[in-house]
Amino acid sequence: MLAQLEVQELALIERATVQFGQGLNLLTGETGSGKSLLVDALGLALGARAGQDQVREGAERAAVSALFLRPEGQLTLSREVGRRAAARLDGRPSNPAQLRELGSRLVGVHGQHDQRLLLEPQTQTQLLDEFAGAQEARIAVAAAFAASLQGLTALQELETIATRSRRDEEYLRWQLDQLRSADPQRGEDEELSAERAAARHAVRLAELVGDAGHNLRGDGTLAAAVAALRSATALDSRLAGLPERLALLAEEVAEVGSELRHYLDSLNSDPRRLAEIEDRLAALEQLKRRYGGSLEAVIEERARLETQLATTGDLGAALSQARDAVDARRAELEAAARVLTEARAEAAERLAQAVAGELEGMRLEGARFEIRLARRAAVAADGAEQAEMLFAANPGEPLAPLARVASGGELSRVMLALRTAAAEADRLPTLVFDEVDAGIGGEAARQVGLRLQRLGRGHQVLVVTHLAQIACYADHHLLVEKTLGGSGRNVVQVRELKSDAERAAELARMMSGGVTVKALARARELIQEAQPV
């Protein structure tokens, strides 16, 4: 529970230390005295958004500290606002997000803003789930939804890749068909270039090679020279070896001459062949420019495309597996959602009956309250449906959504009825109600007080109220006063009214604006009537 709240330099509060006790804690005081400032201060300690405008005029920073007592020990949540902002948990550096996370398990604050939230389907669904004790089922649905969404995302990514791959595959096959059709061979471009050069100069080459061949054939001079040298060698041994060397030259000349004759036979000056060579070389040059600059790169690209296209079946298998996974996860999500739906359906009837009974006790006789489950088109992270709370304030009126039919006072009582009916399921140790008495009075206010008293038996309850019919039920009555301080500025002070006389005086002021004999007498009656039986 919240044991103590310390506030410094926050708006009109210069310094205040407020002690809270178990049960029902009531904060009362004149309008504008600063009652809601204490709720705001607690909110800051719980990680609420802060601003420089909350700092007291002339101060550099505001500071709040909330001390909680828990079975495992004390816990202090602290916050500084202003030029030097800070957040702490038990004196250790923290941040507002951590304060909010921890505070959400310690305190539930219900004010005018929360009443507006009550009109939203998400809040109504959350309240129903709390009453149903379906938090685990809801977590299971959220986990299954996340897994389903993850699987669907993975499938969509694969389908995008597949769509792109099909387009890419068509283009790759077109490229491969081109390369296969062209069928380039290693060194082909060099061979064709040489053939083209010969074809372009075939006539001149024939003349030159013919002349060379004719000169090589000559008139048998080399053969005669070989015979003469052999005769000379017989006469002079120093010439030995020369006839054989000359004979080898004669054989080489004869071979060259033979090759020249073959070359002359192979020369092709046909223009059609030259055109074929030019076309082929142009096609090969185009491929080389597109695929790496050389014929070797073109041939390697053909091999790469053949390998890549051979593996396209792997993507199809991955798609099939992803679709199976999506179906399996969708089935798991639907199964988890059915468990949550069953829990909600059973709890909706019980909660509606309990709330209707509470509303009747709060002077809304004849009011009707129902909870319907509106089915969604598809299962979401919080289930297959949303709760819709319907209300009719008077007999004969049709049921309609709370947002359309509930006045401010009715909405306050509906919220309190919901909290009272769901008190056993509400795990928060401390509940705060600001302006819970909006739009009500008389017997309705007394009934609200009774329910707050009952709620205080299982929780610590903090209530800001303007009504004596509610304040009389306090286990701890805190008076918030705005007085003129020594600096000539108004300051807010808080003190607990411990005696019946003090409480009666405050209740009298709340009822009549002054402490009159008649008001005091009625105040004492209220305090007596409020004593628990």
Amino acid at 234: A
Confidence of residue 215 (pLDDT cuts 50, 70, 90): low
How far is Cα of residue 395 from the mean position of the Cα atoms in its chain?
47
**CATH 3.40.50.300 domain position(s) in the chain:** 1-106+428-533
Q: Name the CA radius of gyration of the chain, rounded.
A: 50
The values of phi and psi at residue 78, to 5°, are -125, 155
Q: What tens digit of pLDDT does each residue of 437-485 get?
A: 777 788 888 888 888 998 898 899 999 999 999 999 999 999 998 877 6
User: Which residue, 202, 209, 177, 206, is CA-closest to 277?
Assistant: 202
pLDDT at 302: 81
pLDDT at 268: 63
Q: Which residues pair with 8 in a beta bridge?
A: 15, 63
State the alpha helices, DSSP H only, in 46-120: 96-103, 112-117
Strands (E) in 442-499, as ranges, are 460-464, 476-484, 490-497
pLDDT at 330: 95
| 3.60.15.10, 3.40.50.300, 2.40.160.20, 3.30.2230.10: CATH of 1-106+428-533 | 3.40.50.300
* CA–CA gap between residue 456 and residue 357 (Å, rounded): 19
Query: Can you give the pTM of this predicted structure?
Result: 0.63
* CA–CA gap between residue 287 and residue 297 (Å, rounded): 9
Q: What tens digit of pLDDT does each residue of 491-527 get?
A: 788 899 999 999 999 999 999 888 889 999 999 999 9
